[in-house]
Amino acid sequence: MDRYIGLDVHMQSCTMAVMGPTGRRLKEEVVSTNGRELVEAIRKVDGRRHLCIEEGTQSEWLYELLEPQVEELVVTVPAESRGQKSDSLDAWARAEELRMGSVKTKVFKAVGRYTELREAMRGYRLIVQDTTRVKNRLKAIFRSRGVWGMDEEAYDPKTREKWLAKLGPSQRRLAELVSQELDGLVEIAQQAKQRLQAESKKHAIIRRLATAPGIGPIRAAQVVATVVTPERFRTKRQFWSYCGLGIMMRTSADWVREGGRWVRAPVMQTRGLNHNRNPILKSVFKGAAMSVVQMTDHPLKRAYERLLKAGSKPNLAQVTIARRIAAIVLAMWKHQENYDPAKQELPPRTP
């Protein structure tokens, strides 16, 4: 007998709801957010267990912990609810969605695969974000006193003194404190980068994908750690949407009467790129496109220049290049091929 379990997770407690195949509510229980107690609670449910939890801070840990205990485990991002909300209602809603097969957004989880790489990538990304944030704070101190034209010398401890001399005594002491924080983060960022590079060398696919235009070893490691397996995406368009590079189209009054028959109206509006995306991959491929357009000679650089000559705006042309790079990476990964620039060249025009 199938049992559908919804689990609403919080820091100290989890609300578990158990539903039968007909929709009958069988059991509701509050369990401590403790690995041993959660496993025992799940094991007490008789029959074939199907579990649904929401994506969150603890979802990866819970997936690794509870996946061996159930027939099916689904991690979802539920739609926003504007009605009443409680732990009990959320748990029953997850169980009902799983029973009806109406879970719209499933989050991919991979147990034990690329775990070290994922954690190394996460650590590097967090430290780089903190470093950028502290640099902006230091820049804001100088700007608040009318000091403009800052460059990398203001961040380098060897050349920072001439910039600090432009500040008053009070602001200088503040800038010195923020600079000390920056120096510590730069050192930690280097350690995080070395760890990520060491983990990347253990996976041959990262070295292969790093040869793609604008990618390199760091971005390749981010792609592999995030995607895990390219078979998740049947087509490049699915991958574009996952990366936040899918174009959103909106139409209304699609059909009009013409000559006594219905024809599709030529009205279609673009609403930008899709918002439900993976931010890491969007940053990777847009950054790769920025690197490509700064190259002196490359097939994709020439494609970018053709787009500009055809009237495309620079930002839209860069999105097009980012989509092409994403498609290249997905194809290289699926077919286990090295990057071939010749495939990006246009065939010669016939007279």
2-100 has which CATH code? 3.30.420.40
pLDDT attached to residue 296: 84
pLDDT at 113 over 80: no
Question: What are the pLDDT digits (tens) for 330-350?
Answer: 999 999 998 988 777 665 555
pLDDT attached to residue 329: 96
Containing 191, the helix (H) or strand (E) segment is: helix 169-200
Of residues 149 and 115, more confidence is placed in 115
pLDDT attached to residue 22: 94
Q: For residue 105, what pLDDT band results from cuts at 50, 70 and 90? A: confident
pLDDT at 89 over 90: yes
pLDDT at 265 over 90: no
Of the listed ranges 77-81, 116-120, 297-301, the one predicted with least confidence: 77-81
Of the listed ranges 34-38, 228-232, 252-256, the one predicted with least confidence: 252-256
Q: For residue 80, what pLDDT band results from cuts at 50, 70 and 90? A: confident
Averaged over 150-171, what is the pLDDT?
Answer: 89
Averaged over 79-98, what is the pLDDT?
Answer: 91
Distance CA 285, CA 304 (A): 15
pLDDT attached to residue 348: 54
pLDDT attached to residue 297: 86
Q: For residue 269, what pLDDT band results from cuts at 50, 70 and 90? A: low
pLDDT at 114 over 60: yes
Q: Which tokens hold the place of 347?
A: 């065939």
pLDDT attached to residue 248: 82
pLDDT at 67 over 60: yes
User: According to the 3-state scheme, what is the secondary structure of 276-318?
Assistant: CCCHHHHHHHHHHHHHHHCCCCCHHHHHHHHHHHCCCCHHHHH
Question: What are the pLDDT digits (tens) for 272-316?
Answer: 888 888 999 999 999 999 999 999 888 999 999 999 999 999 999
pLDDT attached to residue 343: 76
Averaged over 148-163, what is the pLDDT?
Answer: 87
For the chain, domain boundaries: 2-100, 115-202, 235-252+279-344
Of the listed ranges 94-98, 167-171, 283-287, the one predicted with least confidence: 167-171
Burial of 351 (0-12, 13-18, 19+ CB in 10 A): exposed
The rounded mean pLDDT for the chain is 91
Q: What angle do CA 238, 240, 243 make, to 5 degrees?
A: 115
The answer to whether the CB of 287 falls within 8 A of the CB of 218 is no
DSSP per-residue letters across 218-240:
HHHHHHHHHH--GGG-SSHHHHH
Q: How many CB atoms lie within 10 A of CB 169?
A: 6
pLDDT attached to residue 81: 79
